[in-house]
Structure 1
Amino acid sequence: MLNPAVSPSDEPLDARRLQQFLCVAEYSGFSRAAERLHLSQQAISSSVAKLEAQLGVTLFDRTGRQVRLTAAGEALREGASVLLAAGQVLARQVRDAAATQRRPFVVAHTPAVTSEEVHGVLEPVRTGMPDVSVTAVQMFPRDLESAVLDGTVDLALRRGITVPATLAAAVIAYHPLRIAVARGHRFAGRPTVAIRDLHDERIVVWAPPGKSFYTDFILSTCRRAGFEPTLVVNRIQGTTPASAVLDYPDAVALVTAPPGAALGGAVEVIDLADPPLAPVQAVWLPHTRSAIRDLLTTGDNPGSSLPMPHE
């Protein structure tokens, strides 16, 4: 909504004013934001007023006890956090360019993408930029977005296809689904199993439907095969996916591990007939540049177990 009292300007947005605006939005008030930033309330109000004048919009509804973001304010909050984070990344890249020892490129991955799969996905960097140091860390899905935004992580890998509102993303690899069963399960020893054969099986997942793309992907795969699966959420989180059946020996788990014996023979991984392909999605901060990231996100990735489908 345009504020008729002000004339908008095309000048670049001031980072300090954006930080103060975000603080007011977070605490729903100027006084609490002033306390948090150790500034006077008048200074915060003046800063936000100048930002509104520059943009030609009203950012807050000030009619109630708590200030509330307008539609324009919501749009600014969503973009401001990304813009400020990109500025921090640029400052770090400039410092790194002048440093004698470069910081490692940090890649986070969810437990659904194993360390071995991360190593395969990183093949273009390992061969194309052998002098680059990369650190891979495992994180739960709920922590990935904030880690990318605050610069703790340079690139995140997850099983997903939807793009977070504040981040950029691309699918860079696919891995075929297989099933893991405990030794002694009725499927053990079979060369292959069809998805429809799982209709009477309990399927171990790592989060409830709606909380994990990987769970939703498994649920959708079963429904396309014509049945509603019986899901059980694994009580052990963060371990190798194939280990899920150790505590549920009568159940199966859908994994991307290679076929054959696993975990010292306690688990067997079996090929699925016509296997669905589980995507690996790379997530990063928009408005940033990275030669390392470009190697991973452009073209077919040899770390994929199968060629990238052409969409």
Structure 2
Amino acid sequence: MLNYKHLHYFRTVAKTGAINRAAEKLHLTPQTLSGQISILEERLGVALFRRTGRRLELTDAGRTALTYADEIFDVGAELEEALQNRLAARVHPFRVGIADVVPKTIAYQLLAPALTLAEPVKLVCKEDRLEQLAAELSIHRLDMVLADRPLPSNMDIKGYSHPLGECGIAFLAARAIAETLGQDFPANLHEAPLLIPGEDSALRVPLLRWLERRGIQPTIVGEFDDSALMSAFGQAGAGVFPVPLTTAQEVMRQYEVVELGQTLEIRERFFAISVERRLSHPAVVAVSEAARRRFQPQDAD
């Protein structure tokens, strides 16, 4: 049987990245801790760490073990909380994977309705690449995945993609940049510095094709997987950047940028991916119904 004390030691080392720091936190000597980790590796029959310089990095087996360890100790904490407060209403966890290309503001807008249910839920969000999240969904570690594309057909995972809605795109920029480009949209994007989504984003290819069809050749100065980071660079004056129309007003307020123009010819789409063909989880149903109200059908330019 697995020794959970060893698993706790392993998790601490994995989080700190070094035997010495973990030993100090655990009030053990480095030699003792190293020995305990070796015992766990022998028990599992795999190497959990590899040394890179002065740091310890997780192997593939180590990353898998850490995922399970996190879940085990999270469940343990929930058990302790439930037993210590049995009279309190039980809060059910709602575990959501968020593809790292989904804008944070969109994720909040889509998930917020789950927090208003009559039966309370505890929202647990995990951000990662869609492929990794889909794998965790398939083994029921997640209740739902938010993504900007359907589940890829080439993935050997059983799941269903439920459209949540779509919206057009606004192009924003710092006021100093906007003043140099003029108001003739979209011609003002020609030769303008442009920030675009990274290769994992479903928006990237339609955006580049739209520019090509229009005969617009901007100067691409940056590519970003994280939309919040792209907005921060846009705020600093690095270039023009696209955002979903449904979040444009909020992004303009938060980052103090202005709109150059907008188009409905490029659509950003959002999906809830689940293992259910028909949605039944109350929080997932709430997310889906609220999304239909928020994302109204729009006609292209």
Counterpart of 2:241 in structure 1 is 253
Counterpart of 2:292 in structure 1 is 301
The alignment status of 1:284 with 2:287, answered yes or no, reads no
Counterpart of 1:29 in structure 2 is none
The separation in 2 between residues aligned to 1:285 and 1:193, in whole angstroms, is 46
The separation in 2 between residues aligned to 1:201 and 1:162, in whole angstroms, is 34
84, 89, 93: which one pairs with 1:104?
A: 93
Gap change, CA 1:132 and 1:213, over 3 Å in 2: same
- TM-score, normalising length: structure 1: 0.53
The alignment status of 1:144 with 2:136, answered yes or no, reads no
State the number of aligned residues: 212
Indicate conservation of the 8 Å contact 1:182/1:188, yes or no.
Answer: no
Indicate conservation of the 8 Å contact 1:245/1:253, yes or no.
Answer: yes
Indicate conservation of the 8 Å contact 1:159/1:280, yes or no.
Answer: yes
Deviation, structure 1 residue 179? 1.4
Counterpart of 1:59 in structure 2 is none
Deviation, structure 1 residue 308? 7.2
Larger helix fraction of residues: 2
The separation in 2 between residues aligned to 1:280 and 1:176, in whole angstroms, is 12
The separation in 2 between residues aligned to 1:225 and 1:139, in whole angstroms, is 34
Counterpart of 1:171 in structure 2 is 163
- Structure 1: which 5+ residue stretches go unaligned? 1-35, 39-91
The alignment status of 1:121 with 2:107, answered yes or no, reads no
Gap change, CA 1:203 and 1:299, over 3 Å in 2: same
1:220-242 deviation line (CA, Å, top 9, x unaligned): 33234344655444368473542
Task: Summarize the alignment of residues 101-250 of structure 1 with structure 2, pairs less than 5 Å apart.
Answer: 101-122=90-111, 124-129=113-118, 131-161=120-150, 163-164=152-153, 165=155, 166=157, 167-187=159-179, 194-208=185-199, 211-227=200-216, 230-234=219-223, 237=226, 239-246=228-235, 249-250=237-238
Gap change, CA 1:274 and 1:114, over 3 Å in 2: closer
1:87-132 deviation line (CA, Å, top 9, x unaligned): xxxxx9xxx9xx9734411222234433332232235534454523
Query: Which amino acid in 1 is paired with 2:142?
Result: V
- Structure 2: which 5+ residue stretches go unaligned? 1-42, 46-74, 80-85
The separation in 1 between residues aligned to 2:180 and 2:203, in whole angstroms, is 24
Indicate conservation of the 8 Å contact 2:110/2:291, yes or no.
Answer: no
